[in-house]
Amino acid sequence: MAGRAGRIFLSAGEPSGDLHGGPLVAALRTRLPALSLEALGGPGMAAAGATIRFPLARYTVMGFAEIAVRLPRHWRLLRRLERELRAGRFDLVLLIDYPGFNLRLAEAAHRHGVPVLYYIAPKYWASGAARTARLARAVDRLAVILPFEPEFFQRHGLSAEFVGHPLLDRPAPPSRQAARAALGLAPGERLLALFPGSRPQELARLWPAFRDAAGILRAEGRCERVMVAALAAGKYPAAGACELRRDDSATILAAADAALVKSGTASLEAALAGVPMVVAYRVHWLTAWLARRILTVPWISLVNLVAGEQVVAELLQQDVRAERLAGALAPLFEPAGLAAQRQRAAFGALRERLGSPGAAGRVAALATGLLE
């Protein structure tokens, strides 16, 4: 870097990575304003000041079976980036989640002597340690966001630092009273929040069961209103009485009495908001078949994994049926009931385990150290 401003390539690859990448780009700009930041990313990173050379909408995909469809596109991108790494275009590669592609990019950077910082590390603790040796050979530093990850990765030869969970840096949500007023909820109206996912594959597999479970709960008198944390471009056929609230998830959670949430970061968001929930997930049958053979953890939801015990019910694959979902959710609408009280008590301890605000700034500090 002597005599010129540094150049970083950031790779996010999906909307959640872009969401975390935006604050990181802003923190890097604050520390080193002259940095050149080029990215595989989306609007969040662009708004913070990164140059989006490769829009993530062209590359986002999830699941063993689904990845095959877009493999050629990913390989072309990887070959292009390796040519630029070989030519010395970048001083640091900063990866954000998205392990299927990002691990290969890390290996390419390592082959050409470019240091690699990986933020939001691959969840190899969920499927055994077989792939950690490959990660250790390619990555210089890991910035991890779950409290049990440093011990796992350090045990396998990686330099890993817990930076806290980026959810803690989100703006404070509205109060329950303010949120309910903003959503037009009458006193005593009980609200079910639906979080059916952000990817088209997730919506296609989860939305019908989520929608129908909500219908059962309304018919039984468990709740009066149902609101969906909907994406601006998401499709929710036959929504009926389910109210689509586009890009307003924080307000929905602040007002909700219970939530039905797809497995992923949304479950941690609901826990931080103190909302009792049921977690559900369904993937392609081939993805599920492979997952059953490699997963080594007893749960899939981050809430249960961080808590170290089963706090919330998990319904997967063939159990993602309207009747099963509604039956698991029904007890949570009794605020004085054991099920809801137990979850809320566990959520308080979970918040403490997720660290303190400032994750993006800590990652930017690690990046600065590698550049130097």
Q: CB–CB of 138/103 below 8 Å?
A: yes
Q: What does the block give as tokens for 260? A: 């039905």
What is the reported pLDDT for 297? 75
**pLDDT confidence of residue 38:** 98
* Mean pLDDT, the chain, whole residue set: 91
CATH 3.40.50.2000 fits 176-353, yes or no: yes
* pLDDT computed for residue 62 by the predictor: 47
| Distance, CA of 200 to CA of 262 (rounded, Å) | 13
For residue 241, give Cα distances in angstroms to 29, 223, 228, 251, 331: 45, 12, 10, 19, 21
| pLDDT, tens only, 61-83 | 544 444 545 677 888 999 999 99
Q: How confident is the model at residue 3 (pLDDT cuts 50, 70, 90)?
A: very low
| Cα-based distances in Å from 311 to 86, 126, 305 | 48, 18, 9
pLDDT at 16: 83
Find the mean pLDDT for residues 329-339. Answer: 93
Nearest-angstrom CA–CA distance, 283 and 245: 25
pTM here is 0.84
**pLDDT over 80 at 1, yes or no:** no
**Average pLDDT score over residue span 330-359:** 93
Q: Quick check: do 7-164+356-371 and 176-353 share a fold?
A: yes
Range from 67-76, 145-154, 211-220 carrying the lowest mean pLDDT: 67-76
Q: What is the pLDDT of residue 63?
A: 44
Q: pLDDT tens across 167-191, in order?
A: 999 988 899 999 999 999 999 999 9
Determine the average pLDDT of the residues in 249-261: 96
For residue 297, the 8-state DSSP code is S
pLDDT at position 65 is 42
The predicted pLDDT at position 61 comes to 53
Give the pLDDT score at 28: 97
* Distance from C-alpha of 349 to C-alpha of 230, rounded to nearest angstrom: 29
Query: Residue 301 — φ and ψ, nearest 5°?
Result: -80, 140
Nearest in space to 347 (alpha carbons), one of 265, 248, 252, 269: 269
Name the superfamily (CATH) of residues 7-164+356-371: Glycogen Phosphorylase B; (3.40.50.2000)
Domain ranges within the chain, ordered by starting residue: 7-164+356-371, 176-353
pLDDT at 187: 94
Range 39-65 average pLDDT: 82
Arithmetic mean of pLDDT, 361-368: 97
Residues 36-61: what's their mean pLDDT? Answer: 89
Say whether pLDDT at 48 is over 70: yes
CA distance 123 to 121: 6
How far, in Å, CA of 61 to CA of 72, rounded? Answer: 13
Rounded (10°) angle between helices 99-111 and 64-86: 20
Indicate the pLDDT class of residue 294, thresholds 50, 70 and 90.
low
Give residue 142's pLDDT: 97
Task: Report the SS3 class of residue 308.
Answer: coil
pLDDT band at 32 (very low <50, low <70, confident <90, very high): very high
